[in-house]
Amino acid sequence: MKIVPVLDEENGCSSYIIGDEVSGKAAVIDPLKSVGYNHYILTASANGLTIRHVIDTHVHADHYSEAKKLSRETSLIPSMSVNTSAEFAFNPLAEGDTIELGFTTIRIIETPGHTPESISLLVTDSSRSSEPWCIFTGDSLFVGDVGRPDLVDSQQEQVNQAASQQFDSIFRKILPLQDYVEIFPAHFGGSACGGLFLSPKFVSTIGFEKRYNRFLKTDNAADFSRNLMKNLKPAPVTAQQIRNWNLGKSIDT
C-alpha cells in the first residue's frame, strides 16, 4: 500500500492519494481545489499509480472540493456518501460498501456528526494482513481534536443532535478499532473545522488519540457534547456558501 499526503498548509486541509503499488490502482481522498487536479494526477503518476476513484469524505464547509474537476479529467465520477444531496451525478457510498484497489480495500463506515453525510474510510492491505491498517476519518476524529458539529445548521437543537451523532460515530465506530490503526483526518493545524487543540501533525493512531485526545477523556455523551460546545470557534461566514458550491448548487468558478 502507498499513501501520499497532499497538504494545503495555508488552510490546514489534508487530502490523500492511496493506492496499491502492485496493481497501480489509486483513489484520491478529499481533493482540494487549492491544490488543483494537475497535481493529483501527476503525483499519482510519479508514484506509479493511476487514479480510479475520487472520494469526498463529506461535503466540506471550509474549502472548495476538486472532486468534480479531478473526476472529469480522469474520466470518472466522484464518490460520496449516499446521504449527500448533491446536484450532480456521483457514485453513492453506503455503510459496508467496499472499493477495491488491488490488494488494498477501502471499506465505508458512516460517521455522521460534523455533517450528516460524513463517512470514514477503513483500509486493509491484504498482502500484509486481513486486519485494518488505517482509517481516513474526514472531520470526525482529528489529531488532538474532533470535528465541529455546527457548520451545517447552527440552531442549538441541530447542533446538539450533530454533537451526539459525532459522539456515537467516534466512540462506537472508530475507537473500537485496534490501537495501532493509523488515523488520517481531513484537517490539521489551523483549520476552521477544528479548534484550539487540533494538532499540526496530520497523522496519529487510535491508541494515541484514545490516551491523549482531551475530547475522548469521557465516554459520557453529554460531557462530550458540553466539551465540544465550550471549545467552539465562531463559524466561518462562508460555510453555507462553500457547502452549496460543493453540492453543485451554485455556479462553477
Partner 1 sequence: MNTEEIKKLLQSENFILLDVDPPALYEEGHPSGSYNYPFSRFRWGERLKESLGNETPKIGVFASNQVTADSAASGIRSVGLDVDLIFSQGISAWQNMGLPASKLNKLSVDHLSSNLDKYRIVDVREKFELSSGIIPGAISIPMSEFQARMNAIPKEQPCAVICAHGNRSREVAKFLADSGYDAYTVDGGMAMWLYRGYDVEDPY
Residues that bind partner 1 (CB under 8 A): 21-25, 37-38, 41-42, 44-50, 73-75, 103, 127-128
| Interatomic CA distance for residues 112 and 139, integer angstroms | 9
Query: In which element (H, E) is residue 242 found?
Result: helix 239-246
Looking at beta carbons only, is 54 or 193 nearer to partner 1? 54
| Interatomic CA distance for residues 79 and 136, integer angstroms | 15
For residue 130, the minimal CB distance to partner 1 (Å) is: 12
Q: Is the dihedral of CA 238, 244, 246, 251 positive or negative?
A: negative
For residue 37, the minimal CB distance to partner 1 (Å) is: 7
| Interatomic CA distance for residues 23 and 25, integer angstroms | 5
Q: What are phi and psi of 108, to 5 degrees?
A: -85, 130
For residue 23, the minimal CB distance to partner 1 (Å) is: 6
Q: What are phi and psi of 107, to 5 degrees?
A: -110, 135
Q: Is the dihedral of CA 130, 29, 9, 115 positive or negative?
A: negative
Looking at beta carbons only, is 38 or 156 nearer to partner 1? 38
Looking at beta carbons only, is 46 or 222 nearer to partner 1? 46
Looking at beta carbons only, is 77 or 229 nearer to partner 1? 77
Percent composition of the chain: helix, strand, coil (DSSP 3-state, to 5): 25, 25, 50
For residue 96, the minimal CB distance to partner 1 (Å) is: 25
For residue 74, the minimal CB distance to partner 1 (Å) is: 6
Looking at beta carbons only, is 23 or 160 nearer to partner 1? 23
